[in-house]
Chain A
Amino acid sequence: MAAPLVLGLLVAVTVRAVLYRSSLAAFISDRVEVSSPLSAWKRVVEGLSLLDLGVSPYSGDIFHETPLIIYLFHFLIEYAELVFMITDVLTAVALYLAIQDFNKVVFKKQKLLIELDKYAPDVAELIRTPTEMHYIPLKVALFYLLNPYTVMSCVAKSTCAINNTIIAFFFLATMKGSAFLSAVFLALATYQSLYPLTLFAPALLYLLQRQFIPVKVKSKGFWIYTTQYAALYLCSLVVIICLSFFLLSSWDFIPSVYGFILSVPDLTPNIGLFWYFFAEMFEHFSLFFVCVFQINVFFYTIPLAIKLKEHPIFFMFVQIAIISIFKSYPTVGDIALYMAFLPVWSHLYRFLRNIFILSCMLIVCSLLFPVLWHLWIYAGSANSNFYYAITLTFNVGQVSNVKSWATLGLNCG
């Protein structure tokens, strides 16, 4: 099993190395679909040169990365390309190992339920065999590595790749059952981009399931474990934030990073829904709609937690998908992460009703993004509405996609 994975890694690294040396690298770095004001590499370089000039990177509105990135790239700026290739490799390996564990768990549960005769007779075709589940981890790793979105994200050196790596490690730690590591990586992920806060619920549910603690409000064991996990998470978050304070001896990074993510002041076009909405918003309602849109990301957690408490990993997948679609500055790198999980539920594939239309929608929209951008910004023959329309279509496609998989997962799970 390791050999095909290593082969896949080599192919992925070669593709990226070739693209780095080609002229496409500059073109891809400039694309707004791939780099957002939060994750653009140009801004990281700008922040570091501001630091060299003696000015705090957070004194202007260019740099919105966390101090962790300053720490990391202060020493590694020369090897940036290598760093991003390694992060992609690490993400793929983490996902591979995590899905391997997940398969074991699923298979054990299935065996138990078969012995207990819980399955109806006509569900025989849904029972999964070890042979067909053997290649799923490899498929997940390759889905992530060879996804054009991931490749473009890596070539553009978008720091979204680092976010994905941290989430992948968090996933691996959760699958392995280590509450401490899971809490630490979740704290890092929240510190990096705030929205992974919602992944607290699925991680908690999975760890409870693994410890065989029933999820009942009255159960004491449930509350003890929850408080332990929450305490670990909050403490690691506080420690990381305090460490960031000591880098520049100021709390300036908090409004610059988290204030920026939450209040969306920068209206640079991207593949999300926020930019044009707030560009055309009446000033009076601006604050109201910012709050509505931010709440929209967070509030699916509780209903999904109630409904999907038996299937926490599926819950995590749906949650990551919702974050990728509705976060304030989405990029294709975020989408690549949830798409990597799709092979895990590939046995449900044939029940998807409109898979063809949805995949066509996504592919066509991805191809039309650069075309309509060029027509608006360079040729001047289109206007912003064209790009906005493709944004809308792309997001509708994504939402329908997630909804179809969610339906299947809930019903067949």
Chain B
Amino acid sequence: MERATVLGFLLLLGARGGSGQAALKPPQDSLREELLLSPLPSGDLAATFQFRTRWDSELQREGVSHYRLFPKALGQLISKYSVRELHLSLTQGFWRTWTWGQPHLQAPAGAELWVWFQDSVTDVDKSWKELSNMLSGIFCASLNFIDSTNTVIPTASFKPVGLANVTDHHLLRYAVLPREVVCTENLTPWKKLLPCSSKAGLAVLLKAERLFHSSYHSQAVHIRPICRDVSCLSISWELRQTLTVVFDTFSSGQGKKDWSLFKMFSRTLTEACPLASESKIYVDISSKDQGNKLLEVTPAPLSVHEAVVLGDRRTYAVYDLLSPALFNTSRSLNVQLKWKRPQDSADLSTPVLHAQRYVSGYGLQTGEISTLIYNTHPHRAFPVILLETVPWYLRLYIHTLTIITKGKENKPSYIHYQPAQDRRQPHLLEMLIQLPANSATKITIQFERALLKWTEYTPDPNHGFYVSPSVLSVLVPSIIAAKAVAVEESPLFTSLFPSSDGSSYFVRLYTEPLLVNLPTPDFSMPYNVICLTCTVVAVCYGSFYNLLTRTFHVEEPSRGGLAKKLANIIRKIRGVPPL
């Protein structure tokens, strides 16, 4: 017994010594880059870039000073503000789910930032404010406008997508700036965070003049902790930088539906990023009819990958930039897609879930926000969590909330409503609504428009005020069940959200932002208004003062003094009667 403990102790020492040597080695990090080209049912093409840096280090615990692939700016941010998860997206345009199909990762128009903090943070609001200001500097976006009037604390919608053992929702903050525009100024710092920057690998295709000439441009940064290995004893940090762009047949394609890398990006690929462990291009060549292919891809792909993505079985042509066989025939790779036959109705698939939102009503006093959610699944019903953030100056009346499905009232099983406080906090409405199969649900709520102080209007007040898009978080039941595959082996676009089983997939949809007009005072009138109102008050005050302090007493007519005598003499000379 004693010998066993001594032996165990010695072994432990030995192991300690070994790990002590291992601690001197810098933590491992790896980069995978990927481009997914998916032709959309409407003839447009969506290109999704993903750059995933994985860093086997526990940032908070070990004092890290050596950064290799993981950008230092973000690493320092995570350790300084004790961030658990960070998701920032800058988007221009709107993903049209009805015509383009379900998105892999949608982002709302404008800037969106949501952050989970570690439970060690004591003052979350202060950390949130400082963090948004730092990110504003890093990404050259006006994220410093994020304050308490547009930040909310969702209770059910934004669950952590990475590892999490604490889910106290008071550690979560969510803000959207729908008015924010995205431009080259935001793309440049985003590209700088990539290990190869825009000099090698897939990032050479990211040319601003082509990327912003599109219907939809969304760039995002996602940081989350993940399990280092299957046993999940230690964590690694994962940074995903995604960029989704949709090229329009008419503006980018000049009316022709054939696409190529050169046509889209005005560049071709010559090499993979030397720092990447994996660099691949996936082209979606799925077609419903296996014999009659829809799309022809040149050069011929070296391999084909099949997977169940978003509940659908899809086939991808794979180009591995790291394989030497790819650049055998030519020095540069220009993937070309040609349509072999026009699309027919069998190829077009309706998305299982899509939503739209609009404002109705007339005049500047009241209005109504209506959200329509469509469930086109033929026989499965599923619940959806709807999050609405409405600014305080549109006063919502929760007693006017009605949810109607198929002509009958549909009561939500969970409602969380936090009313707004003037100039401090927006409205927050979260509901869990059950959507029956093959139905359209209409959610309406009435509001009243407030008159603001003249300094609270933007310089262009008649443009209107933006209402952030509402968020739908859903576990959509898949039509085809997916097999569980290890994250490291599967393509990046299949491992965006953790899935517990293959029977459903997670989708986060955003609706359109709304533009609402408010009544405005006349901005040229401050001095006039102050004068006129004070005059009315003074009229009252003066009248009452006069009334209350005036006393009446009888006055004897005065005999007159010297001046009167003089005046009478002059009057006699003139021949006028005396005073």
Question: Which residues of B from 531 to 573 have beta carbons under 8 Å from A?
Answer: 532-533, 536-537, 539-541, 543-544, 547-548
Chain B residues within 8 Å of A280, by CB: 454, 521-522, 525-526, 529-530
CB-nearest residue of chain A relative to B363?
A: A378
Chain B residues within 8 Å of A307, by CB: 548
Chain A residues touching B, range: 35 or more
- Nearest CB in chain B: distance from A346 CB, A: 21
Interface of A is mostly: helix
- Does A376 touch B at the CB level, under 8 Å? yes
- Of the candidates B419, B450, B519, the one whose C-beta lies within 8 Å of that of A60 is B419
- Of the candidates B417, B526, B532, the one whose C-beta lies within 8 Å of that of A281 is B526
CB-defined A-B contacts under 8 Å, sample of 10: A280-B522, A280-B530, A281-B453, A303-B548, A304-B548, A322-B540, A380-B364, A384-B522, A395-B536, A399-B536
Whether the Cβ atoms of B453 and A385 lie closer than 8 Å is no
- Does A277 touch B at the CB level, under 8 Å? yes
Choose the segment among A153-161, A183-191, A266-274, A352-360 that binds chain B (4+ C-beta atoms closer than 8 Å): A266-274
The 0/1 profile, CB within 8 Å of B marked 1, for residues 48-66 of chain A is 1110010100011110000
Whether the Cβ atoms of B399 and A49 lie closer than 8 Å is yes
Choose the segment among B70-78, B173-181, B204-212, B390-398 that binds chain A (4+ C-beta atoms closer than 8 Å): B390-398
Distance between Cα atoms of A325 and B521 in the complex (Å)? 22
Choose the segment among B61-69, B333-341, B373-381, B420-428 that binds chain A (4+ C-beta atoms closer than 8 Å): B420-428
Question: Which residues of B from 379 to 415 have beta carbons under 8 Å from A?
Answer: 392, 395, 397-399, 415
- Of the candidates A273, A376, A380, A403, the one whose C-beta lies within 8 Å of that of B533 is A273
Whether the Cβ atoms of B450 and A266 lie closer than 8 Å is yes
Chain A residues within 8 Å of B521, by CB: 276, 279-280, 384
Chain A residues within 8 Å of B541, by CB: 296
Whether the Cβ atoms of A59 and B547 lie closer than 8 Å is no
The 0/1 profile, CB within 8 Å of B marked 1, for residues 14-48 of chain A is 00000000000000001000000000001001101
- Of the candidates B398, B522, B530, the one whose C-beta lies within 8 Å of that of A277 is B530
- Nearest CB in chain B: distance from A256 CB, A: 10
Whether the Cβ atoms of B422 and A265 lie closer than 8 Å is yes
* Contact of A30 with B548 at beta-carbon distance under 8 Å, contacts A50-B398, A267-B451 already known: no
- Give the number of residue pairs across the A-B interface with Cβ within 8 Å: 133
Whether the Cβ atoms of B415 and A376 lie closer than 8 Å is no
- Of the candidates B419, B453, B540, the one whose C-beta lies within 8 Å of that of A325 is B540
- Of the candidates A42, A61, A276, A383, the one whose C-beta lies within 8 Å of that of B421 is A61
Question: Which residues of A from 48 to 104 have beta carbons under 8 Å from B?
Answer: 48-50, 53, 55, 59-62
Whether the Cβ atoms of A403 and B540 lie closer than 8 Å is yes
Chain A residues within 8 Å of B452, by CB: 267, 279
- Of the candidates B366, B415, B539, B544, the one whose C-beta lies within 8 Å of that of A300 is B544
Chain B residues within 8 Å of A114, by CB: none
- Of the candidates A46, A61, A282, the one whose C-beta lies within 8 Å of that of B526 is A282
Chain B residues within 8 Å of A276, by CB: 521, 529, 533
Chain B residues within 8 Å of A62, by CB: 395, 397, 419
- Nearest CB in chain B: distance from A380 CB, A: 8
Question: Which residues of B from 353 to 374 have beta carbons under 8 Å from A?
Answer: 362-366
CB-nearest residue of chain A relative to B446?
A: A42
- Does B503 touch A at the CB level, under 8 Å? no
- Does A245 touch B at the CB level, under 8 Å? no
| Known pairs A49-B398, A59-B419, A325-B540 / 19 extra A-B pairs, C-beta < 8 Å | A53-B398, A60-B421, A61-B421, A265-B422, A277-B529, A279-B521, A280-B454, A280-B529, A283-B455, A293-B537, A326-B537, A378-B365, A383-B522, A384-B520, A384-B522, A396-B539, A399-B543, A406-B547, A410-B547
- Nearest CB in chain A: distance from B422 CB, A: 4
Chain B residues within 8 Å of A266, by CB: 422, 450
Chain B residues within 8 Å of A42, by CB: 397
Chain A CB count within 10 A is highest, among B418, B419, B420, B519, for: B419
* Contact of A61 with B420 at beta-carbon distance under 8 Å, contacts A268-B450, A303-B548 already known: yes
Q: How many residues of B contact A (CB 8 A)?
A: 44
For the complex of A and B, list the 6 residue pairs with the smallest distance between their C-beta atoms, beginning with the closest. Answer: A60-B419, A49-B399, A378-B363, A403-B543, A280-B526, A280-B529
Whether the Cβ atoms of B450 and A267 lie closer than 8 Å is yes
Chain B residues within 8 Å of A258, by CB: none
Whether the Cβ atoms of B451 and A281 lie closer than 8 Å is no
The 0/1 profile, CB within 8 Å of B marked 1, for residues 338-349 of chain A is 000000000000
Distance between Cα atoms of A406 and B452 in the complex (Å)? 37
Distance between Cα atoms of A105 and B267 in the complex (Å)? 101
* Contact of A59 with B548 at beta-carbon distance under 8 Å, contacts A46-B397, A396-B539 already known: no
Residues on B lying within 8 angstroms of A by beta carbon are 362-366, 392, 395, 397-399, 415, 417-423, 427, 450-455, 519-522, 525-526, 529-530, 532-533, 536-537, 539-541, 543-544, 547-548
Distance between Cα atoms of A403 and B538 in the complex (Å)? 13
Distance between Cα atoms of A55 and B425 in the complex (Å)? 15
Whether the Cβ atoms of A303 and B454 lie closer than 8 Å is no
Whether the Cβ atoms of A377 and B540 lie closer than 8 Å is no
Chain A residues within 8 Å of B363, by CB: 377-378
* Contact of A61 with B533 at beta-carbon distance under 8 Å, contacts A267-B453, A279-B454 already known: no
- Does A180 touch B at the CB level, under 8 Å? no
- Does A278 touch B at the CB level, under 8 Å? yes
- Of the candidates A61, A322, A378, A385, the one whose C-beta lies within 8 Å of that of B522 is A385
Chain A residues within 8 Å of B417, by CB: 50, 53, 55
Chain A residues within 8 Å of B362, by CB: 378
Chain A residues within 8 Å of B397, by CB: 42, 46, 62
Chain B residues within 8 Å of A403, by CB: 540, 543-544, 547
- Of the candidates A46, A59, A400, A410, the one whose C-beta lies within 8 Å of that of B418 is A59
- Nearest CB in chain A: distance from B425 CB, A: 8
- Nearest CB in chain B: distance from A34 CB, A: 14
- Nearest CB in chain A: distance from B542 CB, A: 9
- Nearest CB in chain A: distance from B547 CB, A: 6
- Of the candidates B422, B427, B519, the one whose C-beta lies within 8 Å of that of A384 is B519
Distance between Cα atoms of A53 and B392 in the complex (Å)? 19
Distance between Cα atoms of A396 and B141 in the complex (Å)? 51
- Does A388 touch B at the CB level, under 8 Å? yes
- Nearest CB in chain A: distance from B517 CB, A: 9
CB-nearest residue of chain A relative to B395?
A: A62
Chain B CB count within 10 A is highest, among A322, A380, A399, for: A399
Question: Which residues of A from 205 to 235 have beta carbons under 8 Å from B?
Answer: none
Chain A residues within 8 Å of B453, by CB: 267, 278-279, 281, 283
Chain A residues within 8 Å of B392, by CB: 61
- Of the candidates B450, B451, B536, B547, the one whose C-beta lies within 8 Å of that of A392 is B536
- Nearest CB in chain B: distance from A321 CB, A: 10
- Nearest CB in chain B: distance from A309 CB, A: 12
- Does A149 touch B at the CB level, under 8 Å? no
- Does A250 touch B at the CB level, under 8 Å? no
The 0/1 profile, CB within 8 Å of B marked 1, for residues 248-263 of chain A is 0000000000000000
Distance between Cα atoms of A130 and B207 in the complex (Å)? 97
- Does A407 touch B at the CB level, under 8 Å? yes
- Nearest CB in chain B: distance from A46 CB, A: 5
Chain B residues within 8 Å of A50, by CB: 398, 417, 419
- Of the candidates B418, B423, B537, B539, the one whose C-beta lies within 8 Å of that of A265 is B423
Whether the Cβ atoms of A388 and B455 lie closer than 8 Å is no
Distance between Cα atoms of A277 and B530 in the complex (Å)? 6
CB-nearest residue of chain B relative to A289?
A: B530
CB-nearest residue of chain B relative to A296?
A: B537
- Does A275 touch B at the CB level, under 8 Å? yes
Chain A CB count within 10 A is highest, among B362, B420, B525, B540, for: B540
- Nearest CB in chain B: distance from A315 CB, A: 11
Chain B residues within 8 Å of A59, by CB: 418-419, 421
Distance between Cα atoms of A39 and B525 in the complex (Å)? 29
Distance between Cα atoms of A273 and B536 in the complex (Å)? 9
- Nearest CB in chain B: distance from A373 CB, A: 9
CB-nearest residue of chain B relative to A61?
A: B422
Whether the Cβ atoms of B519 and A399 lie closer than 8 Å is no
Chain A residues within 8 Å of B450, by CB: 266-268
Whether the Cβ atoms of B525 and A385 lie closer than 8 Å is yes
Chain B residues within 8 Å of A303, by CB: 544, 548
